[in-house]
Amino acid sequence: MTLPLPRYEQVKRHILERIERGDYTAGDKLPSENELVRALGVSRMTVNRALRELTEEGHILRRAGMGSFVASRRMRGHAADIVSISAELAERGEDWSAEVLVLEEVQAAKDVAEQFALFPGARLFHLIVVHKGDGVPVELEERWVNPDIAPDMLMQDFTKATPTDYLLAVAPLLRAEHVVRAVGASKAEAARLDAVPGTPCLEIGRRTWTGERVASYARLLYPGDRYELTARFSNVGAGNTN
């Protein structure tokens, strides 16, 4: 026997179904609490809980004195994993495409060389790629790669497979480091991401190692309204014996 859903879950499902059906799209204002109470025949407390949970789950935004609005769809990445952007987009049902802006050999500037524990001027491969989901830019990737780890890097077509996919295929990436910051997009970055200069962005600095050598260093930039980051942990507190 299937038990009926709690009232607040019924309200949530009603709102989500209308969003999925396209009755409401990103940025649209939803009916007020009073309007939902009257239309659905439930209590104000029930509606308030439903809206609160939809907000916590990232489906809607609630603005004091203004009401509730449909949130933009965000791609969710995993802080603890090395996952290709194409796989992340496929997970949310979007088609990946890419525009390669730069693919070259360079002499490393001092700050980049330090990421590899190399001297300035060391030989590195450099690329800049805009990744898109259903044609909308979601990630600006700037990456430097150790040529000894991936000697054929410059011969790859990164509109067919991502740099991450390629590196995972040719190098045993045994260790990774992520540094996450909130930044504003520069004028050039905003243009590449089809965004307004200063748009709040999530920046991930990622280094990966093959053995004891740094294989690549990447700066990944995501518009804040198109991406969110999660982390998964296991055995949390396992080492705490108190």
Cβ neighbours for 90, distance < 8 A, ≥ 6 positions apart = 96
Cβ atoms within 10 Å, residue 184: 14
What was the pLDDT predicted at 235?
46
Structure tokens at 31: 């009916």
Residue owning tokens 């001027």: 121
What span, in angstroms and rounded, lies between the C-alpha atoms of 68 and 55? Answer: 9
| Amino acid (one-letter) located at 232 | R
Regions of the chain where pLDDT drops below 50: 1-2, 75-76, 78-80, 233-242
Identify whether the C-beta of residue 101 lies closer than 8 Å to the C-beta of residue 192. yes
Residue-range domains of the chain with CATH: 7-70 (1.10.10.10), 75-230 (3.40.1410.10)
Q: Interior CA angle at 59 toward 205 and 49, to 5°?
A: 125
Residue 234: exposure state from Cβ atoms within 10 A (0-12, 13-18, ≥19): exposed
Identify whether the C-beta of residue 166 lies closer than 8 Å to the C-beta of residue 156. yes
What was the pLDDT predicted at 20?
75
Q: Which helix (H) or strand (E) holds 229?
A: strand 227-230
What was the pLDDT predicted at 73?
56
User: How far is the CA of 90 from the CAs of 7, 97, 108, 147, 203, in angstroms?
Assistant: 33, 11, 34, 30, 21
| CA atoms in the 13 A half-sphere facing the CB of 76 | 10
What was the pLDDT predicted at 69?
87
What span, in angstroms and rounded, lies between the C-alpha atoms of 55 and 7? Answer: 17
List the beta bridge partners of residue 57. Answer: none
What was the pLDDT predicted at 61?
78
Structure tokens at 202: 């999530």
